[in-house]
Amino acid sequence: MTAEAPGPGSEGPEAADEPRDFVKYTFFHLHPEWRRLPPETRAEGKARFADVLDHPPAGVLVRTYSLMGLKAGTEMMVWSIGTELGPLQELHARLLGTPLGGYLDTPYSYLGMARRSEYLGEHAHGGEGSDTRRRPLDLPYLFVYPFVKKREWHAPPFEERRRVMGEHFRIGHQHPNVRIHTGYSFGLDDMEFILSFEAERPAEFLDLVSDLRPTEASRYTALETPIFTCVLSSARRMLDLADGLP
pLDDT tens-digit readout, 152-208: 988 999 988 989 888 888 888 899 999 999 999 999 999 999 999 999 999 999 999
Closest CA to 141 of 178, 190, 99: 178
pLDDT in tens, 125-157: 334 555 678 899 999 999 999 999 999 988 999
CATH architecture group of domain 135-230: 2-Layer Sandwich (3.30)
What pLDDT is attached to residue 9?
Answer: 36
Average pLDDT in the chain: 89
Average pLDDT over residues 209-228: 91
CATH 3.30.70.1030 in the chain, residue ranges: 22-112+233-242, 135-230
Fold of 22-112+233-242: Alpha-Beta Plaits (3.30.70)
What does the pLDDT average to over 30-36?
Answer: 97
